[in-house]
Structure 1
Amino acid sequence: MLSQKTRYAIRAMQHLADHYGKGPVQLADIAEVQKIPPKFLTVILSELARSGLVASQRGKDGGYWLGVPPIDISYGDLIRIMRGSLALVPCASRYAHETCQNCVEEENCRTRALMLQVRDKTAHLLDSINLSDNVEADAYLLAAE
């Protein structure tokens, strides 16, 4: 499951992508429209700024904007920055691998083999969708019916 922090980060980045090239967006505007607690949003945007995905300017005319074009930000990259990994279990993580406790040897673990496949397919999908792509809830829900 995605943490609430990661879901807020995705919504904030989608908001900034919608306003890309239009100047800084006030934190209060993002918080209100996306229903994100302002203090939590400050922490999230600071973390995204450290990664280079978000830029900011203080002051009356300040705010936040994407530090790179939305076409260059994949959902996979965003989730990795916020969550650290796309893997559902630590032994299947590519960059934050940890051996599971109370488990069989990794090379004999069928659950790990399955989770490696899930990780790779999830990464392929999330890395192929960028913030610039048109991801609309209504379009997906209609297509799924």
Structure 2
Amino acid sequence: CKYAIKAILYIARNQSDEQSIFSSEIAQKENIPQKFLESILRELCNHRILISKRGRNGGYRLLRAAEEISFTEIMRIMDGPIALMPCVSLNYYTPCAECKHEETCMIREVFLKVRDATLAIFDEATIDKLKE
């Protein structure tokens, strides 16, 4: 997830109307292993965060405006659920097998608060706010 955010931030800071960013440049400047970066960039293209173009004038660009891309979205793409327990996940909910009464579970109540606080922070953190 960290490498994905670093790559997106690098692209956001350095792309222009005329210029896309090569993966080799991102790998070198951000100290990310090239092969690993390529798989990250491919995943981000598949989820319509980035667009790629082959050839001499090719490279990667943001597909959407930087203010529309949050850490929450990137983290879910790269790492899956943000919640620390499956029973509090918004997108990947699964009841805990050992829990008989989810609505009265005190552990779940704490982790719901953690999830909500975490999401509030990550939703607020957009690429646009961090690229400066």
Asked if TM exceeds 0.5, the reply is yes
Give the SS at the match of 1:113: helix
Query: Do structure 1's residue 45 and structure 2's residue 41 form an aligned pair?
Result: yes
Q: Distance in 1 between matches of 2:15 and 2:84?
A: 32
One-letter code of the match for 2:110?
A: L
In the other structure, the counterpart of 2:123 is 127
Give the SS at the match of 2:128: coil
Query: Do structure 1's residue 10 and structure 2's residue 5 form an aligned pair?
Result: yes
Q: What is the percent sequence identity of the aligned residues?
A: 36
Q: Distance in 2 between matches of 1:57 and 1:85?
A: 30
Q: CA separation of 1:44/1:134 partners in 2, compared to 1, >3 Å: closer, same or farther?
A: closer
**Structure having greater relative contact order (Cα 8 Å, sep ≥ 6):** 2
Q: CA separation of 1:85/1:51 partners in 2, compared to 1, >3 Å: closer, same or farther?
A: same
Match among 13, 21, 24 for residue 16 of structure 2: 21
Q: Return 95-104 or 40-49, whichever deviates more.
A: 95-104
TM-score, structure 1 normalization: 0.82
Q: Runs of 5+ in structure 2 lacking a partner?
A: none
Give per-residue Cα distances to partners, 1:16-44, cap 9 Å, x unaligned: 11124352101011011111111111111
State the Cα RMSD in Å: 1.7
Q: Return 31-40 or 14-23, whichever deviates more.
A: 14-23
In the other structure, the counterpart of 1:143 is none
**8 Å Cα contact 2:15-2:21 kept in structure 1:** no
TM-score, structure 2 normalization: 0.90
Question: How many residue pairs are counted as aligned between the two chains?
Answer: 131
Query: Do structure 1's residue 116 and structure 2's residue 116 form an aligned pair?
Result: no
One-letter code of the match for 2:79?
A: R
Q: Return 118-127 or 74-83, whichever deviates more.
A: 74-83
